[in-house]
Structure 1
Amino acid sequence: MRVFVTGASGWIGSAVVDDLLAAGHDVTGLARSDASAAVLQAKGAHVRRGDLDDLDGIRAGAADADAVIHLANKHDFANPAVSNAAERAAVRTIGDALTETGRPLLVASGLAALVKGRPATEADASPFHGPGALRGGSENLALEFAGRGVHPVILRFSPTVHGTGDHGFIAILAAIAHEKGVSGYPGDGGNRWPAVHRSDAARLVTLGLEKAPAGSRLHAVAEEGVPTREIAEAIGRAFDLPVASIAAEDVQDHYGWIGHFFAMDLWATSTRTRELLGWTPTGPALIEDIDTGAYGTRS
C-alpha cells in the first residue's frame, strides 16, 4: 500500500515509518528539513518536502496515496490556538482529498479529558467539536468523513509514548526535577497516566491501517494508568533526587505549562483495540524504561 505519513520524522512517526516499511508498505513521509528528508531516504522511504502549513503539499500527498496517516502536530503549548487551527486545517484538507475514494485516513489524537471518574474506552466519543476545541476538534472532524466515502480511523495515543530518545512529557518532567532539585508529583500522586512503548505504538498504527474498520477509535495503551507518584519516584531514583508532593495550588508554578497535564487523571483501557487488531504490547513498561536509563541517570 502507498502510505503518506505526516509527522514522519517525529518521535512516533519515525517508528511508524520503520514499522510500515518492515510490513512491506511503500511510504512517503512529509519532511520539513534537509536532515529529516535524508533520514527518511536512508530508510528507503520517499520524501515530500513541506510542513503542516503547506496545505497544497499535504493535499497532493494525500491524493497520490492509497492511505494517509496523519501524525504531525505543532505542539505549540504556549499558543494552543495555533496548533488547533493547523490540525483542523490539515485534517480537513486530507479528508477532502480522499473523499469518495474509500481510502484510509488515520488521525492521531489523545486521551485527555474524555471522561471523568472511570477509565476511558474506545466506545467513548470525543467531547471536542469545532475549531476552538482541543486539537481543533480534529477527531470528530475526521470521523465525519466516513459519510463522504473516506475510511477514518482514530489513533488515541497515551500521554506517555516512552523509550530511549524520547523528548516528550517524561523527559520534560525529568528536566524540571533537575532544575528544581526535587522530583515532584501532584497532590497525593494517585492520578494516573496511561503509557505505551514507542515500538508498540508504531505496531498498533500499522495494524490499524491494515485491519481497523472505518470509524474505529484505537487506544495505544499498554499500561492503563501509571500513578504519577510512581513516575516521580522513578525519576528520583534515576537522578538521585528527593521525591515530594506538590500541593495542588503550587502545581502550575512548579511545572509550568505541563502542570495542567501532569495533574490530570487519564486512566484508559485498550481492551477493544487488542481484540480488534490482535495487538499485544511487548515493549518495556514505563517505570522499567526510566529505571534502566531511557531518560538518563545521575552523572
Structure 2
Amino acid sequence: MKVFLTGASGYIGSNLTRELVAHGHSVTGLVRSEASAAIVAKNGGTAVLGSGDPKTDLPLIVAQARAHDATYHLAFDHSFTDFLGACADERAVVDSVAAAYEGTDKVLVMTSGTLLGAHIIPFTEADSSAGSHNPRAATEATAEAWAAKGNRVAIVRLPPITHGGDLGAGGFIHRIIRACREGGAAAIIGDGGNRWPAVQVADAVAVYRGALGAEPGHILRLHPIADEGNRVADIMGLIAAHEGIEVNSVTPEAAVAQFGFIGHLLGLDNLVTSKITRETLGWTPTQPGLLDELRAGNHGYAVTGLVRSESSAAKVKANGATPIIGSTTDLELVSKSAAAADATIHTAFDHSWRDIAAACAEDRAAIGAIGSAYEGTGKTFIISSVATLGVLHPTFTEKDEGGPGAVNPRFFSERVAESFAAKGTRPVIIRIAPLVQGPDLASSSFFLSLLKKAKESGVAATVNGGKARWSSVHVADIAPLFRIALEKKGTAGQFERYHAVGDNGVPVKEIVDVIGEKLNIPVTDLTGDDAFKHYGILGKLIGLDNPIENSVTIEQTGWSPKQPNVLEALKAGKYFDQL
C-alpha cells in the first residue's frame, strides 16, 4: 500500500515508517524541516515538506491523503502550550481526511490515548471515550462518526508510557526521568498505587500496522498495551533507585510544578486491557516490559558501534548493540555512520603512545568528519577528552580550555569539536580523569602499569616527592555521565564541557604508600631521568600536579559519582589479587 504519515519524523512515526517499509509498504511522511526530511529518508520513506502549522498544512495533508491508500495521523503538539488548540487541529485533520476518503476503500488511522478512559476501570477497546473530560475524546467521536458512514477508520489508543526504540528523547518516560533527575527526587501522588499501562515501541507499531485492516462501517479501536497497569510507585521507585534519589509523595500542584503538563496526569488510575486487540490482530507483545527495562537500566537506545575486528564485534553484540567493522581513519565510513544516527559518541583513541602526535591527528580528523555530517541538523555529538589538559592550571575547571597544545595536543581536538557549534550542531566534550578504575585490573590500564612495575622492580616509586595530585573515576560512573549529557536538553550552536571526575585529586604518594604496604615492598622517590627509566612515559606524567573540579558538571547535569575513589579501592585490596 501507499501510506501517508503526519508526524513521520517523530518517535512513533520513525518507528512506524521502518515497520511499514519492512512489510512492503511505501511511505510518504509530512515533515517541517530538512533535518526531519533526512530522518524520514533514513527510515526508508519519502518526505514532503510542510510548514509545521496544521492549519496552513491542512490542504497539503488532504491532497497527500487522496494520493495514498491510507493515512496515519500521528502529529500532535506535545508541548502542551495550547492543549485545546492542539486538539482542535487534530480534529480538523481527522475530519478533513475522513471526508476525502468517503465512498472509497481507503483507511484512516488516528492516534489517541488510553488516559481518555481513566474514568473507566478497566478501560477496554469496546468502551467509547464519551464522558471523558479530555478534549481528545471529541476527536475519537469525529472518527467514529465517519466510520458509521461507511468509512474504514481505526483508533490506536497509546498508553501514557511508550518506551524503548532508537529515539531516546521520545515518549513520556524520558521526560519523567529527566524531571526526576532535575528535581532531585521522584514523585508520586498519594501512595502511588494508581496504575499506568505501557508498551515498548516495537510492539506498538506492530499494532499500528495491523490497523490497516479496519473494516468499512465499523470503528476499529486498538489498544497496544503490554503492561495493563504498572503502579506509578513502582515506576518511580525504579527511576529513583537508578538515579540515586528519593521518592516523595507530593501534592497535585507540586507534581505540575515538577513535571509540567504530565503532572496533571500523574495521579490518574488507568488500568487498560488489550484482549480485543490481541484477538483481532493475533498480536502478542514480544519486547521487555517497562519495569524490566527500568530494572536493567535500559534507557531506550539502539546503539551501533564501530570496531576493528570480529572479536570486538562479538563484544559489541554481547552488549546488545550492532557492530560496524572499520576504523576511525576511514572518514567516509565515520561520516556516513554518524549521519545515519540521531547522535554520535566518539571515544576511540590510540592509547599505545607509539606516536601521540599521529593519534591526535587521527582524533581531530574523525571529529571533523562527525561534525561535518551534523552541520545544520542540531544533532548532538559527544567526544571524550582528557582532564590532563589541565596540568598547568592550579585547579582545572570545566570553563578552562586547558593546554596549550604543546603540552597535550588533544587540546586541538576540543577546539575542532567546539568549532562545529557555530555550524548548527551541539558538541559536548567530556574530559575523563587520568585514573580510570575498571571492574578488574586488565581494564584499568594505569593501575596495571603501576602495580606491575612495583611488583617487577620490588619498589613502589613516587616521582618528585609524590606531591602531585591525580583525580580518579570509575568506568561505572563515566557511562551514566555520557548518557545524561546525551539526554540533556542542549542548544544547537553552543558547546558544553563536562568533567568525568570522581574526586578532585589524591596525592600520588598516598597511592604509592598503599601499594608498598599491600605488596610489602619499600617506597622510594625518583626524579628526572630515573623516573623515566623506571616508568617510561608514565614517569613524566605522574609528577605533574593535576587537581580537577567537577562542580559545574554536577550542577548542570545532576550527575553523582557513586563508586569508591582510587585510594578507597586500593586500601580495600582491589586489584592486588590479580597481579
Mapped pair 1:32 → 2:308: yes
Determine the C-alpha separation between the residues in 1 that align with 2:522 and 2:410. Answer: 36
Q: CA deviation at 1:157?
A: 0.3
Cα distance change on mapping 1:101 and 1:117 into 2, 3 Å: closer
> Which residue identity lines up with residue 367 of structure 2 in the other structure?
V
The one of 81, 86, 91 equivalent to 2:362 is 86
Residue 106 of structure 1: SS of its match in structure 2? Answer: strand
Q: CA deviation at 1:46?
A: 1.2
The corresponding residue for 1:169 is 446
Give the alignment of 1:68-217 within 5 angstroms: 68-114=344-390, 116=392, 118-128=394-404, 134-135=409-410, 137-165=412-440, 166-211=443-488, 213=490, 214-217=494-497
Give the match for residue 514 of structure 2: 234
Shift of 1:241: 2.1
Report the TM-score when normalising by structure 2.
0.46
Matches of 1:85 and 1:101, distance apart in 2: 25
1:78 is displaced (CA, Å) by 2.6
- CA offset digits 1:39-82 (Å, max 9, x no partner): 21122111111122222221111011100100000123131122
Q: SS in structure 2 opposite 1:48?
A: strand
Aligned-pair identity in percent equals: 35
Q: Is the 8 A contact 1:2 1:28 kept in 2?
A: no
Matched residue SS, 1:116: coil
Tell me, yes or no, if the aligned pair for 2:402 and 2:411 is still in contact at 8 Å.
Answer: no
Contact 1:122-1:219 within 8 A present in 2 as well: yes
Q: How far apart, CA to CA, are the structure 1 residues paired with 2:578 and 2:427? A: 45
Distance 1:298 1:148 in 2: 48
Indicate if the aligned counterparts of 1:163 and 1:289 stay in contact, CA closer than 8 A.
no
Question: Which consecutive unaligned segments of at least 5 residues does structure 2 have?
Answer: 1-165, 169-295
Are 1:243 and 2:518 matched, yes or no? Answer: no
How far did residue 129 of structure 1 move?
Answer: 5.7
8 Å Cα contact 2:396-2:549 kept in structure 1 = yes
Q: Distance in 2 between matches of 1:207 and 1:163?
A: 20
Aligned counterpart for 1:23 among listed residues 278, 281, 299? 299
Q: Contact conserved, 1:126 with 1:139, CA < 8 A, in 2?
A: no
What corresponds to 1:14 in structure 2?
none
Is the 1:84–1:133 contact (alpha carbons within 8 Å) kept by the matching residues of 2? no
In structure 1, distance between residues paired with 2:415 and 2:532:
30
**1:223 aligns to what SS in structure 2?**
coil
Give the Cα separation in 2 of the matches to 1:277 and 1:298: 35
For 1:222, the equivalent position in structure 2 comes to: 502
Superposed displacement of residue 140, structure 1: 0.8
Assess if the C-alpha contact under 8 Å between 2:431 and 2:497 holds in 1.
Answer: yes
Q: Measure how far apart 1:115 and its partner are.
A: 5.5
CA contact under 8 A between 1:105 and 1:151: conserved in structure 2? Answer: yes
Question: What is the TM-score normalised by the length of structure 1?
Answer: 0.88
Distance 1:128 1:47, change over 3 A: farther
SS in 2 for 1:224: coil
Q: Which runs of 4+ in 1 moved over 6 A?
A: none
**207-216 or 116-125, which moves further after superposition?**
207-216
CA distances 1:127-181 after superposition (whole Å, capped 9, x unpaired):
3469x96127111110000001110000000001113322411211111112211
RMSD: 2.2
CA deviations over 1:231-273 (Å, ceiling 9, x no partner) = 1122223322222212344211111111111111110110000
CA contact (8 A) 1:74 1:83 kept: yes
One-letter code of the match for 1:175?
Answer: K
Greater mean alpha carbon deviation, residues 267-276 or residues 44-53: 44-53
CA distance, structure 2, for counterparts of residue 128 and residue 167 of structure 1: 27
Q: Confirm or deny: 8 A CA contact 1:193 1:227 kept in the other structure.
A: yes
CA contact (8 A) 2:391 2:545 kept: no
Q: Write out per-residue CA displacement over residues 61-113 of structure 1, whole angstroms, 9 at most, x where no aligned residue.
A: 10111001000001231311220111111111111111111100101111224
The aligned runs of 1:54-65 (5 Å cut-off) are: 54-65=330-341
Distance 1:179 1:64 in 2: 48
For 2:454, the aligned partner's letter is A
Q: 1:261 to 1:51 in 2, by over 3 A?
A: same
In 2, Cα distance between equivalents of 1:211 and 1:298: 38
Q: Corresponding residue for 2:206?
A: none
**Secondary structure in 2 matching 1:134:** coil
The amino acid of 2:420's aligned partner reads F
Q: CA–CA distance in 1 between the matches of 2:509 and 2:415?
A: 33
In the other structure, the counterpart of 2:545 is 265
Contact 1:76–1:82 (CA<8 Å) still a contact in 2? no
User: Unpaired segments of 5 or more residues in structure 1?
Assistant: 4-19
- State how far apart, in whole Å, the 2-side matches of 1:134 and 1:176 are: 27
d(CA) in 1 for partners of 2:428 and 2:436? 19
Q: 1:212 to 1:226 in 2, by over 3 A?
A: farther
Q: Which amino acid in structure 1 is aligned with residue 308 of structure 2?
A: R
Greater relative contact order (Cα 8 A, min sep 6): structure 1 or 2?
A: 1
AA partner of residue 261 (structure 1): L
Bigger-Rg structure (1/2): 2
Code of the residue aligned with 1:234 in structure 2: it is V
Q: Which residue of 2 aligns with 1:288?
A: 568
Cα distance between partner residues in 1 of 2:390 and 2:359 = 19
CA contact (8 A) 2:471 2:506 kept: yes
